[in-house]
Structure 1
Amino acid sequence: MIPPTTDQLIRYSKIILMAYFSFFGLLVMYSNFTDYASNYEYVGHVLSMDTTREKSNLSYRAITSPILHHRIYWIIITLEVTYTVFCLLGTYHLYRNRYASPKDFHEAKKFAIIGLLVAMFIYYVCLQVIGVEWFNMDESHTWNAKDWARHIVDFIVPLLIYVAIRIER
Structure 2
Amino acid sequence: MNSRLIKILFTCTVGLYMALVCLNNVTDYRSNFTFVSMVAKMEDTFSVERNGWRSVHNVFFHHLFFIVIILWEAVITTCLLVGTKNMIRKYRTTATEFKKAKSVAMYGFALGVLLWFMVFITIGGEWFLMWQSKNWNVQNTAFFLTACFLLFLLYLNQDDK
Per the normalisation by structure 1, the TM-score is: 0.92
Q: Match for 2:144 among 119, 131, 151?
A: 151
Secondary structure of 1:104's partner? Answer: helix
Q: Structure 1: which amino acid aligns with 2:151?
A: P
The equivalences for 1:28-107 within 5 A come to 28-53=21-46, 55-107=48-100
Deviations 1:27-61 (A, max 9, x none): 10110011000000000000110111154311110
Aligned residues: 161
Structure 2 contact 110–150 (Cα < 8 Å) conserved: no
Counterparts of 2:17 and 2:122, CA distance in 1: 22
Runs of 4+ in 1 over 6 A off after TM superposition: none
The farther-off stretch of 54-63 and 24-33 is 54-63
More helix per residue: 1 or 2?
Answer: 2
Secondary structure of 1:64's partner? Answer: coil
Counterparts of 2:47 and 2:5, CA distance in 1: 51
Q: Match for 1:129 among 122, 128, 135?
A: 122
The structure number with the bigger radius of gyration is 1
Counterparts of 1:13 and 1:165, CA distance in 2: 12
Deviations 1:38-90 (A, max 9, x none): 00000000011011115431111001100100011101111000000001001
Counterparts of 1:122 and 1:130, CA distance in 2: 10
- Structure 1: tracts of 5 or more residues without a match: none
Secondary structure of 2:49's partner? Answer: coil
Counterparts of 2:48 and 2:35, CA distance in 1: 21
Distance change (3 Å), C-alpha of 1:165 and 1:71: same
- Structure 2: tracts of 5 or more residues without a match: none
**Seq. identity, %:** 27
